[in-house]
Amino acid sequence: MRRSFAVGSEMAWAAWGEASGLVRWVGACAHALTEGEQVALVDGTRIQVVRQVPPKQLRLRMERDEWPRARTVQLRVLPSVHGVTVALHAEGLPDADAREELLARWTRALESWNAFSGRTVEVTREGAPKREPAGKKGAKKPPALEQGLAEQGAALLKKHGPARGTKKAVAAKQPRAVKKAPVAKKVVAAKKAATPSRAGRRKTSGRTK
């Protein structure tokens, strides 16, 4: 499940990825999160920080005594032209009912955050959250983007195209072939011819005598 927000990645991470933000989608946590360590939530759930990459990814392993097996939840903060997209994912849920219950909880959490659409949201225990319709007089304005964030996102999309983050392979330029100078074999041969052999020198000396 994912929702887009008109905020920067640092703000989204502080609201969802820090220990104080876990109450929105996991549970109340009074301890700082560190990759590899295990902490306990207020309700007794034990969580282990499997992966922590601020402000992009948080992966948690959750255990409780009454659960038949551990569960895994993950938060990702993805770049978006309009700000960021907060994506929540769960694994190891026991059945469809537990999945529906979790999705309903996350939907309410995501859509009740005041940065979701800029409209007033009323959250109750019964049914889906009630939001002001788009364009209704008195609707709140969305929070301002970080300076240059929208332009930066649009530029990245334009540069990389649909496959964001990948670049087309460019053939490397081959260096120009340089002709090697021919080895001066003839010069060496000429020198050998000019230098008389030892046998020739002996014959010459004998004739002189």
Decide which of 3 and 170 is more confident. 3
pLDDT digits (tens, 9 = 90+) for 83-114: 888 999 999 999 999 999 999 999 988 888 87
Mean pLDDT value across the chain: 72
Predicted local distance difference test score (pLDDT) of residue 136? 43
pLDDT digits (tens, 9 = 90+) for 30-59: 888 999 999 999 888 999 999 999 999 999
Give me the domains of the chain, ranges plus CATH numbers.
Answer: 2-160 (3.30.530.20)
Place of tokens 């109450």: 23
The total of other beta-carbon atoms located within 10 Å of residue 46's CB is 14
Q: Is the peptide bond before 55 cis (omega within 30 degrees of 0)?
A: yes
Q: What is the mean pLDDT of residues 14-39?
A: 91
| SS3 labels along 22-47 | HHHCCCCCCCCCCCCCEEECCCCCEE
Contacts of 202 (CB under 8 A, 6+ apart): none
Predicted local distance difference test score (pLDDT) of residue 82? 72
Write down the pTM of the prediction.
Answer: 0.57
